[in-house]
């Protein structure tokens, strides 16, 4: 049985190397796995074929480290620790009383099936993030709810453990979304390198520069006799493209690769 590290298992799953349903029988999994959690919401479509409300992926997916056989409650706690940054610090949904998965009557809450989960609900999805990984595709299921149980979940298949959707309520995001959650923080070293590259770019010749130089008027070195006055005169030469061809082939004889 092949033994994989958490990184090797994560890479193998994402590269779709496992094309069978139960790879656990042939693969010794590490004690913990990296899980991809897609942020998504449902949006109303004006043009639709099956469902008017369709899932839409938002923000940057979260990579979460979970045990090989995590409980539903553990999954929700780990996801909340990584996903709460999408909410404004002043949002009321940061308070513990709004975490429905920590309620004692969460089973009744899920059983009602009204579909209103705030701030979010976790669902089992495939690697694309749009369809359910537990149901057949003909059922048109966008993801089954992951219940916050104390028992281990997703024990039957590896690919069902590493992909899930953090489904936010659309109205909640409209009012409580943190605009700086996906802000890219640039390191000082990359800023310095970017400034150097921008400065070096001024010393490079672009294709437009080459074409402009090709059309530039050139003075001939040797004077030639004029056909009219029969005396030596200074002559000029200029290349022009009178009519653009269907296919223009440009050969670069001396160049330097950049980027």
Q: What is the pLDDT of residues 51-98, one digit of tens each?
A: 778 888 988 888 888 887 888 899 999 999 988 888 888 888 888 888
Q: Does residue 24 have a pLDDT over 60?
A: no
Q: Does residue 17 have a pLDDT over 50?
A: yes
Q: What's the pLDDT at 78?
A: 92
End-to-end Cα spacing for the chain = 43
φ/ψ region of 5 (left if φ > 0, alpha if ψ in -120 to 50, else beta) reads beta
- Domain ranges in the chain? 2-176, 199-237
pTM: 0.64
Q: Does residue 121 have a pLDDT over 80?
A: yes
Q: Does residue 188 have a pLDDT over 80?
A: no
Q: Is 193 helix (H, G, I), strand (E, B) or coil?
A: helix
Both tokens assigned to 255:
């160049």
Q: What's the pLDDT at 39?
A: 92
Residue 211, C-beta contacts closer than 8 angstroms, at least 6 positions apart: none
Exposed, middle or buried, 73 (CB in 10 Å: 0-12/13-18/19+)? middle
**Percent of the chain residues topping a pLDDT of 70:** 75
Q: How far apart are CA 56 and CA 59, in angstroms?
A: 10
Higher pLDDT, 200 or 82: 82
Q: How far apart are CA 6 and CA 11, in angstroms?
A: 9
DSSP labels, 129-142: SSSBSSS-GGGT-S
Q: What is the pLDDT of residues 219-244, one digit of tens each?
A: 887 777 777 887 888 888 888 877 77
φ/ψ region of 125 (left if φ > 0, alpha if ψ in -120 to 50, else beta) reads beta
When pLDDT is averaged across residues 114-134 and rounded to a whole number, the result is 83
Q: What's the pLDDT at 20?
A: 47
Q: Which of 34-38, 133-137, 194-198, 248-252 has the lowest mean pLDDT?
A: 194-198
Q: Hey, what's the torsion of the CAs at 81, 84, 90, 94, to 10 degrees?
A: -60
Q: Please say whether the dihedral angle defined by the alpha carbons of residues 44, 48, 54 and 58, taken in this order, is positive or negative.
A: negative
């Amino acid at each position: 049985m092949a033994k994989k590290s958490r990184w090797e298992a994560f890479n193998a799953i994402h590269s779709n190397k496992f094309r069978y349903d139960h790879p656990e029988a042939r693969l010794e999994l590490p004690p913990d796995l990296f899980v991809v959690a897609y942020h998504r919401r449902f949006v109303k479509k004006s043009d639709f074929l099956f469902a008017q409300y369709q899932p839409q992926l938002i923000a940057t997916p979260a990579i979460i480290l979970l045990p090989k056989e995590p409980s539903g409650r553990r999954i929700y706690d780990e996801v909340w620790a990584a996903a709460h940054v999408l909410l404004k610090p002043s949002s009321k949904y940061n308070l513990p009383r709004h975490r429905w998965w920590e309620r004692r009557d969460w089973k009744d809450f899920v059983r009602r099936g009204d579909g209103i989960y705030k701030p979010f609900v976790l669902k089992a999805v495939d690697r694309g993030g749009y369809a359910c990984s537990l149901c057949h595709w003909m059922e048109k299921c966008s993801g089954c709810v992951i219940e916050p149980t104390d028992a281990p979940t997703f024990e039957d298949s590896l690919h069902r453990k590493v992909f899930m959707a953090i489904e936010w309520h659309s109205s909640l995001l409209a009012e409580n979304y943190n605009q700086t959650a996906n802000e890219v923080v640039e390191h000082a070293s990359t800023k310095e390198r970017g400034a150097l590259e921008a400065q070096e770019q001024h010393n490079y010749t672009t294709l437009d520069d080459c074409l402009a130089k090709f059309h530039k008027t050139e003075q001939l070195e040797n004077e030639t006799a004029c056909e009219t006055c029969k005396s030596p005169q200074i002559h000029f030469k200029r290349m022009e493209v009178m009519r653009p061809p269907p296919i223009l082939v440009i050969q670069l004889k001396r160049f330097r690769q950049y980027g």
